[in-house]
Structure 1
């Protein structure tokens, strides 16, 4: 029999799983809450028959996320401007420095690059990929969740992997990533357009997510000269904003802080010695994890 402490202890696991499937912490928390509601709506004899609380909770959370993905896609089609996954602090799923489970929760499968690829998948592909390739759930169990045969689920996973392989992915060590990011920051602080453009890749793109809540670029900005001008102009126009280094699930990034409140989070993708993508999340709905005291 699974005791309450064991069940409650699965919350971080479920939150990390749902975040990978849904792309925002708020939606992930809704899915986890509904998962627990279904657990506690069962009578005790039914709970006693469950051999693995984690397995049951994982399957139910997967089914809930599958249902939520359909409505989430419709909402994102109406989203104002560019939609980006919610950035999370490096300690969102626990402290990776001391917690092995947290290190697993913050692997490459929560990188913004992969979450954007997952966003382009069908709901069934995304759920199957996350459950099987990230959490090693057998296809027979996934088949019950997505309502398809095991063979069909294998095909879904294969299709999802093909999508991931088709996307340009840049893998550099964390040390190299952070070194390039700090060079990018130094060039920004110096206000030198040429120096900043030199740190940006020829095909660099900047994406800004304000969600219609705050001012943000509605369309991507392409090319080192345009991206550099955009960044320097944005900083010059908001001299009260402090740019602070922060660890994110994507490696070293930056919090934009004013009046002790994080008003934006910037993460970067790096290839070789250059920044290939700048992602600015300014939508306050996606920054609650960066202002926990104010939330409380």
Structure 2
């Protein structure tokens, strides 16, 4: 068994079989695009219809056939405050099934390098800002998404356990709020930024005088373009090895009110914004400390305004096909 301490990260073999779990989702599709642009020729992925990652036997059979050298686990059941609050059992159970099945099958298949992707919601609701990686498990979680957070925390701990028990050089990355091409713009299932884009774009097209958003608009959020996230994933696989999860973000944040104003400007909405303060705000601030990522040699490059414009363009091009 190889001792993880003796391992030095290195460039990945561009011809090796590389499985991207969740390759049609927001993050997975961006990672796929990045890997293709970097010359990877052995990319493999399965849609949820082709392979149900909740089906343990099917996952093991797939790994035995595909024999991937590298894996990025980007598949997950995700959603915003409304979805997380309404279906906590689904978010806990399904994510635990997906993670456990993929990680166990990857152990059996002797996968060389694996990157597990989580979320910044793993950290305590009132963690000191900016949030350091060592804040994990030091306080209570945000109640509106605690089920999802617990599942992702379990994934981090499983990566650490695999490193200890099997000496595998697997790693975890925790992105901040992501947005970009391929996002979920569903009114019931989307995160805050795509929800705002759809809401303001529809208001602009209909000539509505007002748009109403949840909460007070005062919580602060950090937003990272998904193409930046994909670049960070490949960088970490080739340059980082350690048991502790790595925060992936920009290192700066804005209020929900400010991001709403930016979206309204980009889509051309000229009406009035109102705030329904009877609805929950969620965590008051969630800014990640990205010094570990910077020490590994990577920083974000896509500015929020440019990222918003490209995302709005993508949304408008695909609006007819977007799920409800």
Answer with 1 or 2: which has the greater Rg. 1
More helix by share: 1
The TM-score, its normalising length taken from structure 1, stands at 0.29
